[in-house]
Amino acid sequence: MSNLPSEPEFEQAYKELVSTLENSKLFEKNPEYKKALQVCSIPERIIQFRVTWEDDKGQCQVNNAFRVQFNSALGPYKGGLRFHPTVNLSILKFLGFEQIFKNALTGLSMGGGKGGADFDPKGKSDNEIRKFCVAFMRELNKHIGADTDVPAGDIGVSPREIGYMFGAYRAERNRWEGILTCKGGNWGGSLVRAEATGFGLVYYVQHMIQYASGGKESFKGKRVAITGSGNVAQYAALKCIELGATVISLSDSKGCLIATDEQGITPDLVNMIADMKVKRKQLAELANSSEYSNKFKYIGDGARPWIHCGKVDVALPSATQNEVSGEEAKKLMESGAKFIAEGSNMGCTQEAIDIFEASRKDKKGDACWYAPGKAANAGGVAVSGLEMAQNSMRLKWSAEEVDAKLQDIMKNCFENCLNTAKEYVPFGEGEFPSLVAGGNIAGFSKVAAAMLDQGDWW
C-alpha cells in the first residue's frame, strides 16, 4: 500500500483487520491465507466518473462519483451508495473493504462493494435530486446488475433517491430487475428493511448481554446512549425502548440531545425526530422548544454524548466513522458502560478499540465488551440480501417472516464471532472472547477460502 496516495480511512480499516489476523492462530493454521489478504486488499475494480446535471436555475453542476467493486468471491458486489460532500475514494474503499467481511458474516451469498458521489442532497429541491440521480444512474447502470452488483442506500440516499435511480435504470435498460435494495414496499422492497440495521444491532447486543450475564440480564433497565438520529439510530432506539431500556441520547452533526429525566427518549419523540430528519431540520430546534426544553439538554458545536450523559450501560455509536475517541472510550468505562457495539461503520477509533480490548483482558467479567460494526450492524445488508432473494423469486415475505430471519442471522453472526475467537485467539479464564478478532477472522476466512477454491491466487 506504500506506493499509493494516502488513504487514511482505508488504511485504518486495513490495519485494524490485519492486526487481529496477525495476532491470532489463523496464519499458523492456514499460511496460504496470507496471500489472500494481499489480494483481497486491492479492489477488483474501481469505477470513477463525472455526473453533470442541471440545477433549478438552469446552471450545469458537476460531481465526482465512484463505485468500488471490491470482492465478488461470495456473490454479486453488495454495498450502499453514499451521497455526501465528504465522499472520496479513501472513504469508499474503507467502506467497501469492511463490506466484504460484513457480508460474509451474514451467511448470505454477497460480495463487497461501495459507491457514491460528493453530491449533497441537503438544500436541494426534489427536482434537482431527481436530475442528479438520473444523471448518476445513466453511467452507473453500465456496471451493475442483479447478478453483478446490487447497490443499496446509505447516508444521503433514502428511498426517494433509490426510487429515482431505479426508474432511471428501467428507462436506460428496459428491464425490471432487483438491481437496487431499499426499494419501495409496493415495487420490490422488503418489509423490515428500513428497521433492519438498528434492530439487528440491538439483537446482536442482546446476545452479548445474555452471554456476559449467563442469561440473567437483558436490555430491561439498561441506560443506552446512542449517537446519530438517522435510520439506524431511530430504529435502534425504538427496539431498545421496546425491550425495556431507557434511551438517554441521540445526536446529529451539530450536537447531541441528552435526556435529563428518568423517562428518557420516548417512541413519540423518536417519531418526531424522524419527521424532522425528512424535513432536514436539526435537533437543536427540538431542544429549544417549550415542550421539551425541561426534559433535555442540548450540547452544540458538534458535541457527542459520551462524556456528557452520566451513567451508561450500553453505548451504540450509530452516526459515522471514528465517533468514539480514546478519551471518550475511557469516559464511557468510567460511566459504567459494559457493552459497546457499532451501529456505524468503524465507529470507534483504533485507540478506542485498543482501550476496550485492554479492558476486556484486564477487567475480565467487569470489562466493557466491544463489538465491531462489520458484525453488529450487519442486519441492514442481511435484509438487503433477503430483499434480493424475494426479488429473484417474485415473492414478498411478511414482516414477521423477515424479522425472524433477521434474528436468526444476528444470532448466528454473534455465535460465529464468539466461537471463532475462542478457536483462534487465546483468552484467559474469566475473559470475554474478542468479538472484533472473531468477526475479522470469521469474515476473512470465509472469503479467503472461496477465493482459494476459485483460483484467485496461486
Quote the cell numbers at residue 236: 435502534
Residue 50: how many CB atoms within 10 A of its CB?
A: 11
Contact in structure between 86 and 33 (CB atoms under 8 Å): no
Distances, alpha carbon 30 to alpha carbons 24, 272, 418, in Å: 11, 52, 20
Strands (E), 262-344: 296-299, 314-316, 339-341
The residues near 431 (Cβ < 8 Å, ≥ 6 apart) are 360, 361, 364, 367
Sheet containing strand 60-71, strands side by side: 45-54, 60-71, 112-117, 77-83, 149-152
Please report, as a single letter, which amino acid is at residue 153: G
Report whether 391 belongs to an annotated binding site. no
For residue 220, give the nearest of 313, 335, 316, 338 by alpha carbon: 313
Give the whole-angstrom CA distance, residue 149 versus residue 110.
9
- The dihedral built from the CA positions of residue 75, 81, 82 and 88, taken in this order, carries a sign that is positive
**R_g over Cα of the chain:** 21
Residue 452, CB half-sphere, CA atoms under 13 Å: how many? 14
Give the whole-angstrom CA distance, residue 346 versus residue 323.
8
DSSP 8-state class, residue 145: B
Give the whole-angstrom CA distance, residue 245 versus residue 313.
10
**For helices 8-22 and 350-362, angle between their N-to-C axes, nearest 10 degrees:** 20
124 in catalytic set: no
For residue 41, give the nearest of 82, 80, 87, 4 by alpha carbon: 4
Report whether 71 belongs to an annotated binding site. no
Helix (H) or strand (E) holding 285: helix 283-287
Report whether 231 belongs to an annotated binding site. yes
Helix (H) or strand (E) holding 224: strand 223-226
Contact in structure between 178 and 146 (CB atoms under 8 Å): yes
Report whether 15 belongs to an annotated binding site. no
Report whether 20 belongs to an annotated binding site. no
Report whether 320 belongs to an annotated binding site. no
The residues near 3 (Cβ < 8 Å, ≥ 6 apart) are none
Which is catalytic among the residues 114, 124, 183, 222?
Answer: 114
Report whether 78 belongs to an annotated binding site. yes
Place of cell 459504567: 336
- The dihedral built from the CA positions of residue 74, 434, 206 and 98, taken in this order, carries a sign that is negative
Place of cell 425528512: 278
Catalytic residues: 114
Q: Which residues are annotated as a binding site?
A: 78, 99, 102, 153, 197, 231, 384
Q: Which residues are annotated as a binding site for NAD(+)?
A: 197, 231
Q: Which residues are annotated as a binding site for substrate?
A: 78, 99, 102, 153, 384
